[in-house]
Amino acid sequence: MADALFTFDGDHYTPTDFARGPWTPEALHGGPVAALVARAGESCPSPAPMHPARLTVELLRPVPVAPLVVEAEVSRPGRKVQLVDVRVRDAGDGQDLAWGRMLRIRAVEAADPLVAGVPPPLQVRATDDPPPPGPAQGAAAVQPPRASEGGGTYRAFHSEGAELRFVRGAFERLGPSSVWVRLAVPVVDGEEPSPMQRAAAASDFGNGVSTELPFGQYLFINPDLTVALDRPPVGEWVCLQARTSIGAPGTGQAQSVLWDELGPVGLAVQSLVIERLG
């Protein structure tokens, strides 16, 4: 098995065990799917450099551990703003599994006359929490129990595909948390993940690390993920200051402020479907 979340043979992306999710070993974690959608959105050609400012992923159904077809096209071309639509399909039956949309904004250097006089990125936190300690001060994650009948453990994204270091909270503790996340393997075999791919992969942990409901008693699955970046994250680690709110019966939302080693870098939001197990 390749040391990557996916292998690519020129036509299909094949998930590895590193991409499996926490609810069942037969389906992928949303993080690897989001990272694959981000890769497709960034790969669409553009006449000028573009900053991936926002990525929204709609997880239509569980994505199986099976070959996938990923298609992307620029649906709204432009010199300053572009939209790229991404479609993930089952390579076997052609069924749509996930949709993605990336908003790209033209990227310019700080010295460019277009942005002369514009201040540098504002280090404003959209949270009352203090800046998180660095990953070196974090505690290695104790993995959550498998949230499906029979329990047990298996190789998966949350256990081996990514490294998590908590500086506040823990998987086994309910409530808000702050956790640094680093990809332990590339998204696609032989490639260096981009900053947006790292942020997308990390952001899908928000609901799992800040749950208000105990694993093993409830499902709290996110059918979507939106990541908005002020700037590309620096380095391998992305920190989530995450919290979950319970909304109308059976629904909720997880919100994460994203940090890198320089400061706040963006936001992530997940809608939640909540159900009691058993």
Task: Count up the domains in the chain and report the number.
Answer: 1
Top pLDDT among 140 and 70 is at 70
For the stretch 165-185, pLDDT in tens is: 999 998 889 999 999 999 999
Note whether residue 187 is domain-resident: yes
The mean pLDDT value of the chain amounts to 90
Residue 32 reports pLDDT greater than 50: yes
Note whether residue 116 is domain-resident: no
- What is the span of the domain harbouring residue 267? 6-107+132-276
Instruction: Please provide residue 67's backbone torsions phi and psi, each rounded to the nearest 5 degrees.
Output: -55, 140
pLDDT at res. 172: 83
Note whether residue 112 is domain-resident: no
**Domain at 156, CATH number:** 2.40.160.210
Residue 124 reports pLDDT greater than 60: no
- pTM for the full predicted model: 0.91
Q: How many CA atoms lie within 13 A of 102 on its CB side?
A: 30
Residue 263's nearest CA partner among 120, 110, 125 is: 125
Percent of the chain with pLDDT over 90: 76
Pick from 35-44, 106-115, 265-274: least confident: 106-115
Note whether residue 125 is domain-resident: no
Note whether residue 120 is domain-resident: no
- Three-class secondary structure assignment of 143-167: CCCCCCCCCCCCCCHHHHHEEEEEE
Note whether residue 270 is domain-resident: yes
Neighbouring CB atoms inside 10 A of 83's CB total 16
Note whether residue 145 is domain-resident: yes
